[in-house]
Structure 1
Amino acid sequence: MQGGREGTGVELGVKMASTTNLDRTEHAPTTPGRLAAVRKQMFIDFCTALEAHGIPYVILAGHRDYPERIASDVDFMVCERDFARLPAILNTPECVSGAQIVQVLEHEISARYFVLARQEGERIAYLHPDSAANYRLDARLWLRSESVLATRRRSPAGFWIPSAAVEFEYYLFKRVEKECVEERHLEQLRALFDEDASGCRESLQRMFPAELVQEVSCAIARMDVAWFRTRRESLAGCLSRNLPRESMPGRMSSRLQESRRIFRRVINPSGFIVAILGPDGSGKTTVIEHLEKEFASAFRGVRRFHLRPHFGRTAGGTTVRDPHAQEPRGRLASCLKIGMFAADYWSSWLRHVMPSKIRSTLIVFDRYYHDLLVDQRRYRLPARFTLARWLSPLIPQPDLWLVLDAPAENLVARKGEISLDAARSLTAAYAALAHRLPNAVIIDSGTSVDQTLQAAVRAVRERLGIRAQSTLRRLL
């Protein structure tokens, strides 16, 4: 059925923002509650911006606790004409106050996933709008945006949602297609079925053969997770066979667009590679663990390497104690070591690192090849050994270097394994290296931990924002 009178963005914003208080002080701690409040306001701003630009939309599913609690992606649908307008609209500073796009993912030919990030101290509040126009699966058209938008209605919180039957069909399809139906999913499906039993039954008849319709509806009614688990593959197969195919020209066009989308994903991978450099005691482990935690929500996965990729092995690297105590290797052994490093980087880059980057993975290096240029004694290279420097331009480069800089006195106090003079020499050498490297940012780790983490998060967020701008320009 058609929803009620369409309100303006201002009306929507006032209605939903009335319970949100984002007043803050300069030194307020960044608590989980604070992040939840920021995310709530981001969602309100997002919905208000869509209405202000005259874009009819629906939040497809999972919105029962919105905007108070937004635990996952915000799946929404617009018409195809408005789908093309979304990158420009979401990219405006006034769309979601204080936030910027840090990730854009084309995961289907008519679906784009955006990640909006707003930094709060050393933490980040995220909103993940996942947009769709017409929904396709394996070149089969499943839902048309026009028919979905025609059923839209206001939720009690003021944003737009589809009819119960449409939401039921969408949500059940997604769970069966992912072959993952849990109790919390069945709770939502049963509530939707109770709201519009006849409409949901019609949806089941479109999705499954007649002999399965009653079984599925009964399994939902009795919250039978085991029934769905034992039949997950057969149900997914039924969906694939039951969906209506597009016309031959439509399927050919879809396949061509899909090939182009995959090509764009390969040549412009959505993963990100960051290398953390700095002497022992500068706080690399703390920074790395924090960056992995804060940016995991912007990627499909996180992967860490120590110094080098170790030919793709998950475990690699050992803790080095008293790194300057051992005698340097001979020149032949050092040449073989450098050669092994170069082979490892290139082999692993082609077989492991770049494929992970294409799959939208955050890849973090704890140290990197270029450590060999700064601290030759640590890696037992002989004095005035220049092979490592000659080969450094040929080593694959990360997207961002973070070089941690702390006073030499702090390094000695934290580790105590090197002399003050050696610590001063290393600090100066890392700073000089940072000025030579492209895309390098020096992070002052001699301040408080919170300030160090805040600076590191800002550096990564800003670099992701710059890259996202480039992606958005290609889409406009």
Structure 2
Amino acid sequence: MQDRTFNTALEIGRAEPELKHDVSYDLLLSTIDAFLANQNICYAIKEMSKNSAEEQREKCIDLFVACGDYKKVINGFGSICTSIKFYTIHENNLSRSASQFVLVYQKLNDNRFTAVKLCIYSSYKINNWLYFSSEELLKTRVYSTSKNYWTLNYSNSFIYTLSKAIENKHAEEEQFQDLCECCKRASNGIKSHLRRFLCDDSINMLINALNSQSSDCLNDNVELLSKNLRNTDGNKISDFLPKSIDLVRSILKPPGLVVGILGRDGSGKSTFVNEITKTLGGCFSNTITFKRHPKIFYKELIFKKGEDYHFSKPHLYKERGYMASFLKLNLLLVEFLVGYWLKVFPLKRKAFLILYDRYFIDVLADPLRYRIKGNKLFIKMIHYILPQPDIWIILDLSTEVLMQRKQELTFEMSEKLRQEYLNLQKILPNCMVVSNEKELQKTVDNATAHILYTMRRKLLNIS
């Protein structure tokens, strides 16, 4: 995407952009409608029901356009969103005929961010099988006077929602209610449409589940539906070359994000991780958290020698000798290195948000926690060998406040440890120190703004 009008401050890298404007979800829909109408582009929109969308932090829109208009829409999408203060922080090519954009915006007087996932299709495919062509969907579209834009008709909306649920191996409650509503309004044509994709037994099971208002019945049989859906006599399309290009692109520039979170015991890392996951989850395909390390080879108990060990009080124990420390550091090197390529990188390619509650560099700031006695130069050398998180966040608070939360260390030791963590800024690129003394929500909001800002710069290739 060639959009570089995000913010003058962002262009020169001097300050973070101000995302908060008088914007709304309805403004995005009306702007998309106006843009497509001005370009004489035929389209149809499929979105979540308004009530569900208003209750959730994440909103979803699927936009269908003709094959000939697909590139035009993709190329112009960034500028029209930026013009109304919706900022693209992530984009992903789902296939040769589908792209996904993740947008964020803030309303006035609301510090929270709202994510909007918008998928643009010129055709809809599952595992290279063509299920809907844009021409087929747009030919029978209808205009919604209540929403002021073109939508899929009820039959196509039903089939499309069902295929999405089957593809995801689960029907969300909003999807199931949408299926029931579409089935009710287009009952005469539903079965004939379904025979194109499913056998009679699967159709009867599906209709019974809808009539009984049982989403559990549908989800219990989703594997069977998935198998039948794959065996349809649809049009097989080869996407080998585009998929190969997308594979290379995902390896060179994986769309996910790895965030390393550091801080002293009692700084609120675990609670912060839980909250940031809820806040940013809608911007990614999924989220996962690793505590300390990926857990590939390293088993902490091998260094305990059968002694009682209290994980909540790691600083009560003495350092190991130089040889044991050397072995442990090398084991951690292998653990983080292999763990990244076997666990972390595959998830990053799938657009996951990966959070590390501590990372290897934590050893440099707090070696006693790991009972390591060693040369700091050797620890730094290992740090530079290892793949690094995209963003570092150090949670900080005054020692006085920390001592009220946790009194494992003396005031002097805790203050010294605080300085060690703050000194990590000197060797960690893209590092942010966030105060966690006051309301947790403010801490999360500040960190979220920094993460979204970094994602935006990454998308625009701004160093």
Question: Per the shorter chain, which TM-score range?
Answer: 0.7 to 0.9
1:148 match: secondary structure: helix
CA distance in 1, matches of 2:266, 2:205: 62
Contact 2:141 2:153 in 1 (8 A): yes
Kindly provide the amino acid, as one letter, of the partner of residue 297 in structure 1: G
Residue 46 of structure 2 aligns with an amino acid whose one-letter code is: L
Residue 166 of structure 1: aligned partner: 156
Q: Does 1:57 align with 2:46?
A: no
Residue identity opposite 2:330 in structure 1: G
Q: Check 1:85–1:66 CA distance in 2 against 1; reply closer, same or farther (3 A cut).
A: farther
Residue 355 of structure 2 aligns to a residue whose secondary structure is strand
Asked if 1:207 corresponds to 2:197, the answer is yes
Deviation at 1:77, TM superposition (A): 0.9
* 1:282 equivalent in structure 2: 267
In 2, Cα distance between the equivalents of 1:232 and 1:67?
A: 24
The residue type paired with residue 133 of structure 2 is: R
How many residue pairs match? The answer is: 431
Alignment of 1:174-193 (within 5 A): 174-178=164-168, 180=170, 188-193=178-183
Unaligned runs of 5+ in 1: 1-36, 472-476
Percent identity over paired residues = 23
1:453 equivalenced with 2:444 (yes/no) = yes
Aligned to 1:152: 141
Quick one: distance in 1 between partners of 2:299 and 2:350?
17
Amino acid paired to 1:158: N
Residue matched to 2:66: 79
- Distance of aligned partners of 1:384 and 1:421 in 2 relative to their CA distance in 1, 3 Å threshold: farther
Give the residue type in structure 2 aligned to 1:389: K
Q: 1:113 to 1:187 in 2, by over 3 A?
A: same
Question: Cα distance, 1:278 vs. partner?
Answer: 1.8
Q: C-alpha separation between the residues in 1 aligned to 2:113 and 2:313? A: 35
Q: 2:313 aligns to what? A: 321
- Which residue in 1 is equivalent to 2:115? 126
**CA contact 2:298–2:331 (8 Å) conserved in 1:** no
User: 1:275: Cα distance to partner?
Assistant: 0.5
RMSD of the TM alignment (CA)?
3.6
Q: Secondary structure at the match of 2:460?
A: helix
8 Å CA contact retained: 2:397, 2:436: yes
Q: CA deviation at 1:56?
A: 3.0
Question: Deviations along 1:313-358, whole A, 9 cap, x unmatched?
Answer: 99999744262x3322211111011111101111211221112222
Inter-CA distance 269–331: structure 2 relative to 1 (3 Å threshold) = same
1:241 aligns with 2:231: yes
Residues 383 and 216 (structure 1), Cα distance of their counterparts in 2 relative to 1, 3 Å cut: closer
CA distance in 1, matches of 2:284, 2:397: 30
Which of 345, 364, 375 is residue 355 of structure 2 equivalent to? 364
Q: CA separation in 1, counterparts of 2:277 and 2:374?
A: 36
Aligned to 1:291: 276
Shift of 1:76: 2.1
Question: In structure 2, what is the equivalent of residue 264 of structure 1?
Answer: 249
Task: Choose the corresponding residue for 1:108, options 81, 91, 95.
Answer: 95
Paired letter, 1:98: K
Question: Does the Cα contact within 8 Å between 2:28 and 2:84 map onto a contact in 1?
Answer: yes
1:387 aligns with 2:387: no
Alignment partners' CA distance in 2, 1:231 and 1:320: 45
Q: For 1:309, what is the secondary structure of its paired residue?
A: coil
CA separation of 1:436 and 1:321: change in aligned 2, threshold 3 A: same
1:104 shift after superposition:
1.8
For the 8 Å contact 1:284–1:366, the answer to whether it is kept is yes
Choose which of 344, 349, 368 in structure 2 pairs with 1:377: 368
TM-score for the superposition, normalised by structure 2? 0.79
1:163-184 Cα offsets, whole Å, 9 max, x none, are 2232233233334555546887
Aligned to 2:15: none
Gaps of 5+ in 2: 1-22, 302-308
The separation in 1 between residues aligned to 2:84 and 2:300, in whole angstroms, is 41
Q: State the one-letter code of the partner of 2:414.
A: A
How far apart, in 1, do the equivalents of 2:390 and 2:311 lie?
A: 26
Paired residue for 1:306, among 269, 274, 291? 291
Report if the CA contact (8 A) 2:106-2:112 is conserved.
yes
Question: Residue deviations 1:296-328, cap 9 Å, x none?
Answer: 1122222212222221799999744262x3322
Mark the CA change 1:422 to 1:48 in structure 2 (over 3 Å): closer, same or farther: farther
Residue aligned with 2:369, SS: coil
